[in-house]
Amino acid sequence: MRIFIAGASGAIGRQLVPLLVAGGHEVVGSTRSAAKAGTLRVLGAEPVVVDALDPDSVADVVAKAEPEVIVHQLTALSGRPRFRQVKAMMAAANRLRTEGTDHLLAAGHAVGVRKFVAQSNAMWMERVGGPVAGEDGRIEPHPPADVAEAVAALRHVEDSVTRITWADGIVLRYGGFYGAGTGLTGDVIADQVRKRRFPIVGGGGGVWSLVHIADAAAATVAAVERGKSGIYHVADDEPAQVCDWLPHLARALGAKPPLRVPAWCVRLLTGAGAVNMMTQARGISTETTKRELDWTPRYPDWRKGFTEELG
């Protein structure tokens, strides 16, 4: 198939492009940075530089690409921002999940794509119903005020994509990424863990589902090739409380055990959203994804994944 990847130079995109090319697909990959076009070309994609928030530019590049499938991996959450830049980065990510999604959907509809695959994440599953949520679960309808806009943006992606009738609209709820310099094992969080600035908050009872970035990319290929309209969960087989996986990550990084900080203190410093994620998050089940997409994670256990990635 001919596939257009929006955000192809991001964490998933850099893993996804060579997998699709190796599978015989033609890939056009977008980036907002001209400096990254060469990297995409080396990976096997035809690069295009575009501002994803400019609807006319998006419509133009998608029309010229003539894809059968669009894969939406746009995000602004990358690099090593300074503290005062985080708010602006989150606002940009929210716009990509709202306006960016709308622009890509309009462009895809105009050229008649038959499948639209979009990135979501599982960190904000509704905080009721037990430690693990299935694909029929929904995004938390009443998040803390300081993260309400970000959670609403996730909901916008999911609702907009799964409601389209002119193509298969597929949403992938990824677990927390690690591997290949991204997510939990990337420079930003790993440095915080080494410096004991990534603490266990309260009792650390929040349940996180994690996924190696290579497994996330492989699941995305499976969705492109075999997915039907709906939501699929992408994570390993071991949802775990923060108080379990975070000390293990610290050991794998050669760091001292994480500090334990009262929830009220973190709430004052960083807001209620961070406390909620560390104490009330729910993991996800991937049984439907395994069955319907014929996908199995190479790293089914984050313990083994951490050790192999960091050992």
CATH numbers and ranges of domains, the chain:
2-182+211-235+285-298 (3.40.50.720)
pLDDT given for residue 86 in this prediction: 67
Expressed in percent and rounded to 5, the helix, strand and coil fractions of the chain are: 45, 20, 35
- Cα–Cα distances in Å, from 288 out to 87, 185, 283? 35, 27, 15
Rounded Cα–Cα distance for residues 272 and 56 (Å): 38
Q: Is the pTM of the predicted complex or chain greater than 0.85?
A: yes
Structure tokens at 301: 């256990």
| Nearest C-alpha neighbor of 103 from the set 118, 91, 88, 114 | 118
The pLDDT tens digits for 119-143 are 999 999 999 999 999 999 999 999 9
- Residue 167: Cβ within 10 Å count: 19
Backbone phi and psi for residue 236, each to the nearest 5 degrees, phi listed first: -80, -170
- Helical pair 55-65 and 101-111, crossing angle rounded to 10 deg: 40
Rounded Cα–Cα distance for residues 232 and 124 (Å): 15
Q: What is the largest CA-CA distance in the chain?
A: 54
User: Based on C-alpha coordinates, what's the Rg of the chain?
Assistant: 19
Which residue has 């939501």 as its token pair?
A: 231
- Residue 163: Cβ within 10 Å count: 10
Q: Judge whether 227 and 293 are in contact, CB under 8 Å.
A: yes
- Cα–Cα distances in Å, from 181 out to 30, 74, 126, 215? 21, 18, 29, 14
Beta bridge partners of 26: 2
| SS3 assignment, position 9 | coil
The pLDDT tens digits for 198-247 are 999 999 999 999 999 999 999 999 999 999 999 999 999 999 999 999 99
- b (16+ CB within 10 A) / e for 250-289: bebbebeebeebebeebbeeeebbbbbbbbebbbbbbeeb
pLDDT 10s digit of each residue in the chain, 311 long? 999 999 999 989 999 999 999 999 999 999 998 999 999 999 999 999 999 999 999 999 999 999 999 999 998 665 554 445 667 778 889 999 999 999 999 999 999 999 999 999 999 999 999 999 999 999 999 999 999 999 999 999 999 999 999 999 999 999 999 987 787 877 778 889 999 999 999 999 999 999 999 999 999 999 999 999 999 999 999 999 999 999 999 999 999 999 999 999 999 999 999 999 999 999 999 999 999 999 999 999 999 999 888 87
Rounded Cα–Cα distance for residues 252 and 45 (Å): 35
Cβ within 8 Å of residue 257, ≥6 positions away: 247, 250, 251
At CA 297, angle to CA 293 and CA 299, rounded to 5?
A: 175
